[in-house]
A and B are shown apart, each in its own frame.
Chain A
Amino acid sequence: MNTQRTKSISSDSPSGISRRTLLKGSAAIALGAAAISSVRGTVKQTAAGASSGPLGKGKVIDCHAHLNHHSRKTWEADDRKLIEAADKLGIDQLCCSTLTPRWPATLDGFRECNQWTAEGMRRFPGRVLGYCYVNPGYGREALEEIRRYVGDHGFMGIKLYNEYTCTEPVVFPIVELAVELGVPILHHASHSHYFVEDQPRLTDGGHLAELARRYPEAMLICAHISGGGDWEWTIKALRHATNVLLDTSGSVTDAGTVEMAAAVVGVDRLVFGCDSSMTAGVGKIRGADLAAQDKQKILGGNMMRLLGRRKA
């Protein structure tokens, strides 16, 4: 396994652009000089930084990323491309899960995914943080998997996909364990004004708001508001769910999304993400009409605050 870090664009970019200028943008919208930190730490160091410094000293954390499933022939090169893309865009850390290519995930399927995520954390130390992905339908085995990877392997959170709607009772033990461990759950979510046939148990912002009411101490992240259907609906559905954060990732770059989310739920509840749509993820934060300090919170400060609440 190659554990070598890739070069920063500041030293090899043909255009001579730096990570700082990229995130600041080419014109008027700037994130502030503190936005970029050259220091990359482990989860533990990150959490320590969040608790001691002003909004984490400018660390940029992608809250929603994926490593490639090893059935993909080019998985290793593609994982490296992800890190290279993060380098170019000034993203310090990526919170990654590995997902099964087919759903619902089997027990063996999500187990090997988590093993690969752990390997990815070792290949890219300090760059890749791990989400433990489980299918809640496996009950005790799913809980054991979370204890193993969050507890023993230092994963930073739990990733849930579309096997169950998050309000189904089978999901509750997972949420209770997340609360016990003090880690967030990133939940796949989308709301369209039609039935999504291939995802019959899809979770939306309304479901997450209901789950948040049931578990007010849980830290829930509503995935990809910019790739989850009607984002205006989702933002409004989550207005009062104060323990749900909104992940800005997704391929959709609709102008005004980040500003509306900031106005309705507040910047403290927004976390930056790409979900593999790298330039879309960075571009919409750079382009949002928000103060540099608020962008700083979204880019990393809020996620660092979340990571700092880990109990074990």
Chain B
Amino acid sequence: MIVDVNAYLGHFAFRRLRHNTAASLLAMMDAKGIDKAVVSSAGAITYRNAQAGNEELAEEVRGHSDRLIPYAVINPFYAGWQDDLKICREQFGMAGVRLYPKWHNYQLSSPCCRELVDAATERGMVISIPIRVEDTRERSWLLNVPDIPLDEIVELVKAHPKACFILLNGLGYTGCPLGRKENGLPANYAIELSRLSALLASELGQLITNLGAERLMFGTGMPFNYPDPALVKLEVLDASEADKEKIRSQNAMAWLRL
């Protein structure tokens, strides 16, 4: 069993994506042996009204709830986000949210964002945060969206010990408290592996040592990314089969209550 906690459907404003419909993504998952994937709307990253992307996603995943787990993109500075969250949870059955503070131009420390985290947590939703969408060197001439500094994530996880965070598309965790042993932080966050090294410096191996395999999850970033690099990481990772199984699916199954 492989569960991918980092997948997307729909169009991205700055690059054509392939395998971005439910049918096509499922075919890709079949080819790669990926059983389930957490998906959110790629379009909602740049839509002003992110809820339109959530509606597209809900329509796209209909009939595939056994394999595609939809997450809502919510911008806590946009009018009506509380209604959107309620609809996404209650009508669309979305089990988590994805936050894009840099793309949507707000601070994780802002009261609105804190209110959203609390509201999602009260509804039993996981909060998933992509540290980046694309490599910043590729960025369009229209915008300059930085990665989320990891110290901003540190403050967020500290402020919301009851929330569950999954951090996507990040690296460099071992250089900050998030990836250090006995860091004094609540164990309320998990780290997805798509940008972590599994060889040479092996940040993935260091994180297993420092935090335990229970805190790591498999993710690809497909269809933005090829899924194979993430799969290869697990294949070459110097870890026990029991730890790999936790990363491959068990941790995600527990956190996502699958």
Contact = CB atoms under 8 A, between A and B. Distances in A.
B140 interface: yes
6 contacts: A26-B33, A89-B232, A232-B15, A277-B197, A282-B229, A287-B228
B235 A253 contact: no
Interface of A: 9, 14-15, 17, 22, 25-29, 78, 81-82, 84-85, 88-89, 190, 192-194, 227-232, 251-256, 276-280, 282-284, 286-288
B224 interface: yes
Given A26-B33, A82-B200, A255 B17 contact: yes
B233 A279 contact: yes
A288 B31 CA distance: 12
B236 A9 contact: yes
Interface string B168-204: 0000000000000000000000000011011110000
Contacts of A88: 199, 236
A129 to B, nearest CB: 19
Contacts of A278: 197, 199-200
Nearest to A190: B137
B137 A192 contact: yes
B18 A255 contact: yes
B138 A255 contact: no
Contacts of A27: 31-33
Contacts of A17: 235-236
Contacts of A282: 228-229, 232
Contact of A255 (B139, B223, B240): B223
Contact of B229 (A28, A193, A284): A284
Instruction: Tell me whether chain B's interface is mostly helix, strand or loop, or mixed.
Output: loop
Given A255-B19, A255-B226, A256-B16, 19 more contacts: A14-B240, A15-B241, A17-B236, A22-B235, A25-B231, A26-B33, A26-B235, A84-B199, A89-B199, A89-B232, A231-B138, A232-B15, A252-B138, A253-B225, A255-B222, A278-B197, A279-B198, A279-B199, A283-B229
Contact of A14 (B144, B231, B233, B238): B238
- Counting chain A CB atoms within 10 Å of each CB, the highest count among B18, B33, B144, B197 belongs to B197
Contact of A288 (B134, B140, B141, B226): B226
B221 interface: yes
A264 B39 CA distance: 31
B136 to A, nearest CB: 9
B45 interface: no
A41 to B, nearest CB: 24
Contacts of A81: 199-200
B229 A280 contact: yes
Contacts of A286: 226, 228, 232
A40 B64 CA distance: 48
Contacts of B231: 25-26, 283
A26 B236 contact: no
B251 to A, nearest CB: 18
